Structure 1
Amino acid sequence: MTQLSSHKANALTGRLRVPGDKSISHRSLIMGTLALGESRISGLLEGEDVLDTAKAMRALGADIRRDEAGDWRVIGVGVGGLCQPDTALDMGNSGTGARLVMGLVATTPHSVTFTGDASLSSRPMKRVTDPLTKFGASFHGAKDMTLPLTVSGIEDPLPIEYEVPVASAQVKSAILLAALNTPGKTTVIEKTPTRDHTERMFEHFGVEIAITPHGKNTAITVTGQPELTARDMVVPTDPSSAAFPTIAALITPGSDILIENVGMNPSRTGIYTTLQEMGGDVSFVNERLECGESVADIRVRYSPLNGVTVPQDRAPSMIDEYPILCIAASFATGETVMRGLEELRVKESDRISVMVAGLQAAGVQVVEHDDGMTITGQTSIPGGALVKTHLDHRIAMSFLTLGMASDQPVTVDDGRVIETSFPGFRDLMNGLGAHITDQIKDPA
């Protein structure tokens, strides 16, 4: 276990590039596996979560390797060409990887066991397994469908129409991936729009996909069993990862940074809209399109912030960013109200209760709700806390960001978990002017 301590920083300045987008990285490896020929991926996030998905795709038959230039090459097996893996697929800490790959194998004639670390093994999979059983797949494991879990795929799947009961891009994407090896048309109905990387990736690879109104909702229809041809992919940098240096700069006096090549998919930018509403000096330059995804550079300068009530319908576009938004809210004048966040209870940790406990330990005024929290900002945060991360990378990075502007250092109990999504986080932030140090190194 490695404890990391974050000390009060001077102004953060400079240009930086955060790692590749995690959501797009997972999907690029999966789609490359389902295409015939060699797909090249540049900018892939080389964090543990994505590398575990790469291992899973190799076990299912793909030839995946990193070349000397740092690009990744995937020789796929085609839709319907997945192999029976010799061993269980260890998905590490990645809920996204586990749920997407479950969808992928549910409509194959294979039996696949999924395992993961302690954090992943505590997370419910039922919201994915329920719709996948409608194709004809079956699942064997604990009653609450936690890992380890075995998927018995169906050789002759049936197309389905499924209305997603809660806003979840992972559930939607698992169904869409299952639909690829299912004859006929499968439709997913969304009440609330969620991130649409899967739909954009399908279009990039030539999948027949239609997105149409369905009353007040949206219907996404996929025609199954296409023959996909390899495509090159460029992964933009991750807007979720970019939120950490963005908020660090906003709360650290004198800061002025430029974050390059950030994905600006409209389904992912709620955090930046919210920060602008709080008075944050956040602007976008060099806006462009790459592989169907909007990309821009983000200029961020220190700004006094004001509390806001975040609209509940914005939650799907920033669900992963609420932990770091809590840090911005801690320094904002007035109250910041965040509600409609029930999904945070079933992330890598119960992010609502874990954030509340850490904030209170650091001297922040916060009230916990069943579906969120209310934070009353202060001009000065005492800090001086040791925060339990519960093996959650976003909790760790959020509290290290808090320590950059609090009176006393903030320490997280395990900094190693950051590698799952943001390898090099400490060095990158220290290069801007932060002061994050090892506190204790204990091999146990």
Structure 2
Amino acid sequence: MEFILNPDRERMELALVMALLVNGRTVFEDFSFAAGVEPFAEALKEFGLSYVQQGHQLVLEGKGFQYALPSMLPMDMSESRCVMLWTLASKDMEQIYTFAAEEDEAGIAKVACAKEMLQKYFKVKPVSDEAAKFTFTFAAEDLPIKKDSLGNISTVMRNRILLRTLIRGEYISFEEKGSVHDQWTKMLAYFGVNLKYEGRGMEQLTELERRMMMARGQKIERTQFTELSETQVITGRDYYIPGDTTEAMAFVLLATIAGIPKNTEVCLKNVDLNSSRAGALTCLKRMGGNFETVSRRERFGDVYGDVMVYPLASGKRLQGRRFSEDTIATGLEEYPFLAVAACFAEGETILRIPKEIRKEMRARNEALAENLRKTGAEVGVYDDGLVIRGLETIVNGSDFDGGEAPENGLALSVLSMALENDEPVANVELVERTYPGVLQKLAQMLEMATAKPEES
């Protein structure tokens, strides 16, 4: 069985920004829009990006660094989208921008939210500040770089810093620890931006320095160094946006926990395998998941490939593992899938989330735990994540509710399918909007895997 996944949304959004900055034509190969990305592409048209779909290609014409500046800035998109669009606008420090809405409770709240997000990522100069209207210009100076508890810059801020430096023709360098979410960084390098991105650690030390550090008992930490210098022009190149890692995780998890026949083979085509994006697949592999990359391609500045998925061997179980914050940071969208896998694992699984997002993740974890306890598994919610003790056999569990988190909904849908529930997970329509067609493909995989020989 072969399945083609929806393209990765985050990579597509970044690639559209890149195409605007190209001085000329860029071609996206084997292209289809990821769910919900077209409004972002339309917003980039206001900056001068033009594109047309020709068969399986999207042909784009960029404006280079001389892109247009819109009169209005969007404030009703996701944080990552707004920040990239506002960063493009921040190139001009003379132009006055306005956030405005209806002068009612909802409008006032909308402007306040946009203003708070703006001041989180930018230095601005207010021109006027009213309840439902905020007028401002962007400041020449930038906010100081702040690193999180893992020694990294947050992904949205990191992407903003690199984009701001690029469009202003400036220079910046910084070092980070741990796994860096680097899709944008690698894309910049692929398109010819004057950027250095390399790991540093023991190899940068002399033999004497290494011995002295070892004698003192000091840990030699590996860091990631990023340096961006002025780039005069960016020329167009062909590009490809691989399949969504979250959807791949859904297929792998279902094949692992559904008890399908041992001779089943499922091939997922062209999955995004960027190490800072596909960390949850590595985690599931450590737990005993039976899958492998059978065709690995290092093209277009990054890594993608075909993933072959098999059921667990007879008598085998997943094994509980402890995953640290830096490991989980490379697969946050797939966090609920690891929680579902832990319900089937032998022993205890600990999923620790980075300190900076614990508060916002608490409610989602509470909702996820409430659903998972319906299987009989022991699920504890703590400030730093989840602790789960799995069961050898799970036969019960229904009435799951994905709530407002599509990743939760998709993970719980996989669990529901594995338990052969007839009723869909509540709020499944959000899953379908975010990952169109994936539930049908998962059901098809189960049906084909369990079909009798005469029905195949």
TM-score range, shorter chain: 0.7 to 0.9
Once residues 224 and 157 of structure 1 are traced to their aligned partners in structure 2, the CA distance between those partners, rounded to angstroms, is: 17
TM-score by length of 2: 0.79
Residues 37-76 of structure 1: pairs in structure 2 closer than 5 A:
37-44=24-31, 46-67=33-54, 69-76=55-62
Instruction: Check the 8 A contact 1:195/1:267 in 2, yes or no.
Output: yes
Q: Which residue of 1 aligns with 2:394?
A: 380
Q: Which residue of 2 aligns with 1:206?
A: 192
Given the alignment of the two structures, is residue 269 of structure 1 paired with residue 278 of structure 2, yes or no? yes
Residues 13-412 of structure 1: pairs in structure 2 closer than 5 A:
14-44=1-31, 46-67=33-54, 69-86=55-72, 88=74, 90-91=76-77, 94-109=78-93, 110=95, 111=97, 113=99, 129-133=119-123, 152-154=136-138, 157-158=140-141, 162-165=145-148, 167=152, 168-211=154-197, 217-224=223-230, 226-253=232-259, 254=261, 255-303=264-312, 304-342=317-355, 345=358, 350-378=363-391, 379-390=393-404, 392-406=405-419, 408-409=421-422, 411-412=424-425
SS in 2 for 1:266: coil
Instruction: Check the 8 A contact 1:164/1:191 in 2, yes or no.
Output: no
1:182-224 Cα distance to aligned partner (Å, 9 max, x none): 2321334433332211111111221111235689543422224
* CA apart distance, 1:18: 0.8
Once residues 233 and 158 of structure 1 are traced to their aligned partners in structure 2, the CA distance between those partners, rounded to angstroms, is: 34
1:291-312 Cα distance to aligned partner (Å, 9 max, x none): 0111221111122311111133
Length, aligned pairs only: 409
AA aligned opposite 2:306:
D
Instruction: Check the 8 A contact 2:7/2:243 in 1, yes or no.
Output: yes
Instruction: Check the 8 A contact 1:137/1:152 in 2, yes or no.
Output: yes
* CA apart distance, 1:346: 6.9
Instruction: Check the 8 A contact 2:298/2:304 in 1, yes or no.
Output: yes
Q: Which residue of 2 aligns with 1:415?
A: 428
Higher mean Cα deviation, 163-172 or 371-380? 163-172
Once residues 100 and 237 of structure 2 are traced to their aligned partners in structure 1, the CA distance between those partners, rounded to angstroms, is: 28
Instruction: Check the 8 A contact 1:331/1:377 in 2, yes or no.
Output: yes
Q: Which residue of 1 aligns with 2:214?
A: none
SS in 1 for 2:333: helix
Q: Structure 1 residues 48 and 295, CA, compared in 2 at 3 Å: closer, same or farther?
A: closer
Higher mean Cα deviation, 104-113 or 238-247? 104-113
1:322-377 Cα distance to aligned partner (Å, 9 max, x none): 11111111111221111134455577994322312322345442100112101111
Instruction: Check the 8 A contact 2:83/2:121 in 1, yes or no.
Output: no
Once residues 197 and 437 of structure 2 are traced to their aligned partners in structure 1, the CA distance between those partners, rounded to angstroms, is: 38
Q: Structure 1 residues 222 and 321, CA, compared in 2 at 3 Å: closer, same or farther?
A: same
Higher mean Cα deviation, 400-409 or 206-215? 206-215
AA aligned opposite 2:397:
G
AA aligned opposite 2:311:
Y
Once residues 412 and 342 of structure 2 are traced to their aligned partners in structure 1, the CA distance between those partners, rounded to angstroms, is: 13
AA aligned opposite 2:409:
A
SS in 1 for 2:65: coil
User: Which structure dedicates a bigger proportion of its chain to strand?
Assistant: 1
Once residues 86 and 290 of structure 1 are traced to their aligned partners in structure 2, the CA distance between those partners, rounded to angstroms, is: 37
Q: Which has the larger radius of gyration?
A: 2
| Percentage identity across paired residues of the two chains | 21
1:96-127 Cα distance to aligned partner (Å, 9 max, x none): 32333333333334526499x99x97989968
1:144-188 Cα distance to aligned partner (Å, 9 max, x none): xxxx9968453x734776243354222211211121222321334
* CA apart distance, 1:388: 4.3
SS in 1 for 2:196: strand
Q: Structure 1 residues 239 and 365, CA, compared in 2 at 3 Å: closer, same or farther?
A: same
* CA apart distance, 1:85: 4.1
**Larger RCO, structure (CA 8 Å, separation 6 or more):** 1
Instruction: Check the 8 A contact 2:402/2:428 in 1, yes or no.
Output: no
Unaligned runs of 5+ in 1: 1-13, 436-444
Please report the RMSD computed on the Cα atoms of aligned residues, expressed in angstroms: 3.5
Q: Structure 1 residues 76 and 385, CA, compared in 2 at 3 Å: closer, same or farther?
A: same
User: Which structure dedicates a bigger proportion of its chain to helix?
Assistant: 2
1:371-425 Cα distance to aligned partner (Å, 9 max, x none): 21011112115222141422x2211111111101226456433223225542211
Once residues 348 and 123 of structure 1 are traced to their aligned partners in structure 2, the CA distance between those partners, rounded to angstroms, is: 19
Instruction: Check the 8 A contact 2:20/2:67 in 1, yes or no.
Output: no
Once residues 5 and 294 of structure 2 are traced to their aligned partners in structure 1, the CA distance between those partners, rounded to angstroms, is: 16
Instruction: Check the 8 A contact 1:237/1:262 in 2, yes or no.
Output: yes
Once residues 358 and 246 of structure 2 are traced to their aligned partners in structure 1, the CA distance between those partners, rounded to angstroms, is: 18
SS in 2 for 1:302: coil
SS in 2 for 1:249: helix
Q: Structure 1 residues 282 and 332, CA, compared in 2 at 3 Å: closer, same or farther?
A: same
